Amino acid sequence: MEKINQTNVLLLSVGTRNKIVQYFRKAFNDAGNKVFATDLSEIAPALYDADEYFLDKRMTEDGYLEQILDFCKENSVKGVLSLIDPELSVLAENVEKYKEVGVTVIGSSYNLCEMALDKMQMYEWLKSHGYNCARSWKDKEEFYRAVDDGEVCYPVFVKPYRGSASISISKVYDKETVDLLFSHEDDLMIQEFLNGQEIGADVYIDMISGEVVSIFTKKKLKMRAGETDKAVSFKDPELFTLIEKFVKEAGYKGQIDIDIFDIDGQYYISEVNPRFGGGYPHAYESGCDHMKLILNNLNGIVNQKNIGAYDEGIYMMKYNEVKIRK
């Protein structure tokens, strides 16, 4: 029987995010709490870094929500979050049902989770609010007219306008390839190629006060499978100010990950993932412990602003590890 005063957390769809689970255990176990994890597969390696785990239903299956709610009630779970994009919307859509059993959904609103999945919607929001961003088109004829008018040039990216993890993205150098891709797949968009230094920002917005309390920024040096493979930390007060303005204007809450480009000294906002990104371990190991911020919020404690609380010039280098299960 769990202690009634425990502040336990449930991490959904943990997959290969072993470090995230380990960091949660460090913060929560030190305070006498537990970290639970779920995934569809029993060979998701991050499951085995949790205190306890269970295999859940697919989010589209009947009984998925009830299974998770029942687990939360039985195990003094006070907070729940997901590590994959599609499940964020499902959580946000059911905030009130979680509240009824005393559980806080750690994340942003349903509309913001959906906007993160819809790249055209994100582009329209950024453009309408005056932020630098990559010009985008769903209508390829409009794009061709922009090329003819000298407003944009090749190469460009052709990608599904809904989705995540850099799936089905093609870098395209000519009209013929654009036509070919559009003839074989629906729901595509064309996006201007941003040729500059790619930056990642790990941001925590206090779930009680709504204030941005932590920002960590890194220059991406190498990418692999859509995630940051090597990076180095840096600071720019101008960028911190831009991130604060953007995040508060949009209304994000909890943990988010922002992709940004520096092009000739101008910052362009590219994408937002309203969850822990694959590069977050860089922020944690540099001193930005967002798991403790989450634990504070679940205990009703407002976190104080501590933006840029890390050293510059700290490198992250990912490498492969193996988990053995018998």
Q: Over the stretch 46-73, which tens digit does the pLDDT of each residue have? A: 999 999 999 999 999 999 999 999 999 9
Locate the domains of the chain by residue range.
8-106, 135-192, 196-317
Sign of CA dihedral 148, 128, 274, 270: positive
Arch. (CATH architecture) of 8-106: 3-Layer(aba) Sandwich (3.40)
CATH topology identical between 8-106 and 135-192: no
Q: If pLDDT is split at 50, 70 and 90, which confidence band does 27 have?
A: very high
Which whole number is the average pLDDT over 251-255? Answer: 98
| Domain spanning 196-317, CATH class | alpha beta
Q: If pLDDT is split at 50, 70 and 90, which confidence band does 165 have?
A: low
What's the confidence (pLDDT) of residue 131? Answer: 98
What's the confidence (pLDDT) of residue 186? Answer: 86
pLDDT in tens, 172-206: 999 999 999 999 888 999 999 999 999 999 999 99
Would you tell me which CATH number, out of the four given (3.40.190.290, 3.40.50.300, 3.30.1490.20, 3.40.50.720), belongs to the domain 135-192?
A: 3.30.1490.20
Task: Work out whether strand 77-82 and strand 104-105 pair parallel, antiparallel, or are unpaired.
Answer: parallel
Which whole number is the average pLDDT over 93-107? Answer: 98
Which whole number is the average pLDDT over 305-320? Answer: 95
The whole model's pTM is what? Answer: 0.94
Mean pLDDT of all residues belonging to the chain: 95
What's the confidence (pLDDT) of residue 167? Answer: 60
What's the confidence (pLDDT) of residue 227? Answer: 78
- Is the CB of residue 280 less than 8 Å from the CB of residue 294? no
- Residues contacting 308, CB < 8 A, separation 6+: 215, 216, 235, 237, 240
Cis upstream peptide for 155 (omega within 30°): yes
What's the confidence (pLDDT) of residue 2? Answer: 44
| Alpha-carbon torsion, ordered 290, 292, 294, 296, to 10 deg | -140
Map tokens 């994000």 to a residue: 252
Q: Report how far residue 187's alpha carbon sits from residue 61's, in angstroms, rounded to the nearest whole number.
A: 25
Which whole number is the average pLDDT over 290-310? Answer: 97
